[in-house]
Structure 1
């Protein structure tokens, strides 16, 4: 589908060729006119035929007004060519000028009346990459770039995209999604909030935030709303999305019956995201924590970062044996064996923000080369296209990829996946809620044959997925009932521990919410569960609910702090219940 821009439309190659053709025609017409007039007026006594006279008459050919031609022919052949070619060039110039003059308004009118399109705000690499991915997926894209300032009155993307008239001109009332992905997080947040205010459901708004801690804070404030607005709003971080995709495509696997040994070079945003994601996925493989991953974190502030991450995500201490190594690679081969970390490691993630430093490290740290195919992942951004040069393992490329061990990973290209960005915080919390439910029920001896909900998220029916999403979306309302709120686990703070009366209150609220949702979808009470006939034994008021069914609600509430901790949040007291 074609891309639309709220500035001057891009020039197509065919238009450039057409313009060049008419420019050459204009030159030919002028030369032919000059020579033809010289031949026609060489013996004339009525009109002057000095070079200046000929030049002036020649220019008049382009506006159909040369006096020497008013009396009619015959004329020299070159002059006949000029008196038709010159007005044709003039006519084309007038048409082209009108087209350029009204093109922006016509395009804006088309965008305003569009339906089901996507709006991308930004100029940088993320915006360009996301636009290409959306167009490749068959979506119509309207972009708001810096040149929209010429239409909106100045201020660039930041000011323009927050302007309701610009958003309306981009067709936000009929758009499917808005992506705010400039190079400034504050600008993106402002654009996202403006789009959420002026958009209508089912519009989805996604704002890129480069700082992962700020991203968590904004997600907490939006999820903490008692009632969500019509438009769906979420904040995303490129490094977090890229880490999730990387570990989905290449998950950690045991090596010779033991956990893999992992080295992370650089405690950058991407390095921290990789650490958390690989621990989260290994926990699923080893839920009892019997085999912890030995993980060496190498950075100038590795000890401080490891402490921060363990505080923010408590499950890390149960999954990983994090070995912080303050400093660089200088004496790494000697330091690791002394602390019980044999070389070579099984997986290496080079996560420096400086792309040249990351690539240089990968190509010179030979002690890390022996982990097997794809074992050394190098974070790149603008240099990610170099991966085409490293391909000797597949018989292509012009540079050696260390027998397949080297993998250059473009974080922007990986993260700019519309489906991945659309997997918002509510969706991720819904998955964790479901996984916690499955673990809890299996501990009580239930099996998938007796409970159809005890299956992986990917195999769960859409109605049950929707129920988990609604439960996640309702977290903010429940916490407000207790005078509590969500807070990112970024710094020191007092986490509120739910007391038994509060657990009882939240269990009742959750049952009431679930009961209303099920009844709205046609479910009824029955002593025995029958999903095909939409019958369930829990479809009764709390006072009439069986004790074992009440306990399920209590257990779900008790798991809530752990579920939120997995996502980097905690419950804090902010007021009275």
Structure 2
């Protein structure tokens, strides 16, 4: 993929240190050999010096060249040229060895000292593929990175149990700008994030991100976080690699329309990544043309029907936007079916977690080869470097299948900017999407009817502020946010609750506008920052009240689009 999608691993440069070691090792051997030959010539030419020219003695004298103390040289020269080379080269090798030994001896203490005195740095906890990839991306962006391994096995780094507050203090968490907990244990990551948040002491804001492997658990933690009172001095969030990678993939490679009909999509593997790709495709298709025909998506997995049912329960809009056809068939059954059984899809996403299985499906399942370049996307992690064989400069395997494109999930997801898009940011996008659909459905036309990426910063901030205030409003009526996972009934807002939340939203909007210098006037004047809605709720015009009430009535649908629902807390 390279520059087209950024979904593969970076090409690493060869390490410099081994090259130096090899160079000085060769120099040591050459110096020793030259010393042997040179000393033998020197002693044979100067027998009156009284030094033995026995081979063992010459060997001993040659070894002493490395410590600046070979006795035959005390008599002075002239020396044979080969010996002159050896008596300078050998001490050079010794000096390098001493410097390297000192560096290795004190490297751990130096790193600990740098960690304790660091400021404005980023802490990455973990030693897996996610942690190392994220650290590399952060360093490429110019950040100072301190890595804390999952276990105390690497003395060259800050050692100890990562969730131990003392270890986080040793990494100067109080002066850090961000902490990423990326171990293989989601519970440990959550504990690390909470420990880092508790240790915060200075006045700057610390961003803390914890990786959670299960997307449903991640959504539950995000919901609890949004529903909780704000934590001053810390911005805490949770992220899931598959969700981030799917968002990256679909946003950068939109689905193209082949003629007048919607494109057909096939997803092999109802994995977390496969489900996330389906949801992102549906979001993109809905915004592309609200009046378009449903997007045909076939999902192939041994548990496809159950997975689709769970997915449509969580995201009800999928049934309106997509025509999802599940096929309860594993890879072996797919490969055994005739290659001409049914129409060929326009795009295929192979989303198996097992990389060997994903490659097998990509290379052998000719039933799903559309034939267009890059139309078959294969989910990979550690094997993503194989992309050079498919879409690199030489295209070694192009004759086998030019349709394949390998997508590195970890590299795509380990984008600090993408991880920084927390739940508030995503809810703000959904709020904007619902606004675009609502206004477009009524035939309206405003400058705000543009994709989120093209929306002016002023309007983005307005949507973010509205999304960030959802938790406060729900707490005011004794409710909270919950992911639409498993059976459960969403709370229906009463008329009194709707009006109360509408008043809260209006007052929040007034405070934000007043802070920007807006004032009340009977007629709107953007140039002079005058607006009739700056009046208090009792004095507000009916159409403006109804606009606030309508926004609150749409809140359950907005949250449902994001995979959440409102639930009432028990007393």
Change (3 A) 1:337 1:57: closer
User: Structure 1 residues 153, 138: CA separation in 2 closer, same or farther (over 3 Å shift)?
Assistant: closer
1:281 matched residue in structure 2: 284
Asked if 1:16 corresponds to 2:21, the answer is yes
Match for 1:475 among 470, 475, 480?
A: 470
Farther off after superposition, 115-124 or 556-565 = 115-124
Change (3 A) 1:430 1:55: same
Q: Tell me the TM-score normalised to structure 2 length.
A: 0.84
Output aligned runs, 1:418-497, within 5 Å.
418-441=416-439, 446-448=444-446, 453-497=448-492
Query: Residue 561 of structure 1 contacts residue 570 of structure 1 at CA under 8 Å; is this kept in 2?
Result: yes
State how 1:352-431 maps to structure 2 within 5 Å. Answer: 352-370=352-370, 372-391=372-391, 396-400=394-398, 404-431=402-429
Tell me, yes or no, if the aligned pair for 1:124 and 1:182 is still in contact at 8 Å: yes
Which one is further off, 399-408 or 551-560? 399-408
Change in CA separation of 1:459 and 1:518 when aligned onto 2, cut-off 3 Å: same
Structure 1 residues 345 and 55: alpha-carbon distance in aligned structure 2, compared to 1, 3 A threshold: closer
Q: Gaps (5+ residues) in structure 1?
A: 1-9
Judge conservation of contact 2:150–2:183 (CA < 8 Å) in 1: no
Q: Distance in 2 between matches of 1:170 and 1:29?
A: 49
- Cα distance per residue 1:44-99 (max 9 Å; x no partner): 89x99998888888777766778x689x6357847988877766655554444333
- What aligned pairs does 1:3-402 form with structure 2 within 5 A after superposition? 12-13=17-18, 15-17=20-22, 19-20=24-25, 23-24=28-29, 27=32, 31=36, 73-74=75-76, 77=79, 91-145=95-149, 149=153, 151=155, 159-199=160-200, 201-288=204-291, 291-328=293-330, 342-370=342-370, 372-391=372-391, 396-400=394-398
* 1:538 aligned counterpart, secondary structure: helix
The 3-state SS of whatever aligns with 1:102 is: helix
Q: Which has the higher contact order (CA 8 A, sep 6+)?
A: 2
Contact kept in structure 1, 2:522 and 2:532, CA below 8 Å: yes
Q: Against the structure 1 CA distance between its residues 38 and 242, is the aligned structure 2 distance closer, same or farther, given a 3 Å change threshold?
A: same
Mapped partners of 1:296, 1:88: distance in 2: 68
Matched residue SS, 1:377: strand
2:3 aligns to what? none
**Would you say the 8 A contact 2:36–2:58 is kept in 1?**
no
Aligned residues: 553
Q: Evaluate the alpha carbon distance shift between residue 174 and residue 370 of structure 1 in structure 2; reply closer, same or farther with a 3 A threshold.
A: same
Q: 1:169 to 1:521 in 2, by over 3 A?
A: farther
Match of 2:557 among 539, 559, 562: 562
Distance in 2 (CA, whole Å) between partners of 1:28 and 1:538 is: 91
Kindly report the root-mean-square deviation, in angstroms, between the aligned alpha carbons of the 2 structures: 3.8
- Report if aligned partners of 1:217, 1:487 keep a CA contact under 8 Å in 2: yes
1:206 shift after superposition: 2.2
Contact 1:111 1:169 in 2 (8 A): yes
Find the aligned partners of 1:337 and 1:360 in 2 and give their Cα distance. 16
- CA distance in structure 1 between the aligned counterparts of 2:284 and 2:259, rounded to whole angstroms: 19
Structure 1: distance between partners of 2:16 and 2:172? 23
Shift of 1:191: 2.6
| 8 Å Cα contact 1:133-1:417 kept in structure 2 | yes
Q: Is the 8 A contact 1:25 1:89 kept in 2?
A: no
Q: Is the 8 A contact 2:290 2:437 kept in 1?
A: no
Aligned 8 A contact 1:313 1:566 in 2 = yes
The answer for unaligned runs of 5 or more in structure 2 is: 1-14
Equivalents in 2 of 1:23, 1:162: separation in Å? Answer: 46
Distance in 2 separating the partners of 1:164 and 1:37: 65
CA distance in 2 between partners of 1:36 and 1:390 (Å): 61
Q: Is the 8 Å Cα contact of residues 32 and 82 (structure 1) preserved in structure 2? A: no
Secondary structure, counterpart of 2:554 in structure 1: helix
* Cα 1:334/1:292, change in 2 over 3 Å: farther
- Cα distance in 2, alignment partners of residues 302 and 439 from structure 1: 30
Q: Which moved more, 1:33-42 or 1:343-352?
A: 33-42
Q: Secondary structure at the match of 1:204?
A: strand
Q: Is the 8 A contact 1:524 1:534 kept in 2?
A: yes
User: Residues 329 and 122 of structure 1: is their aligned pair in 2 closer, same or farther, counting only changes over 3 Å?
Assistant: closer
Q: TM-score, length-normalised on structure 1? A: 0.83
Sort the Cα spacing of 1:330 and 1:400 in 2 relative to 1 into closer, same or farther, 3 A: same
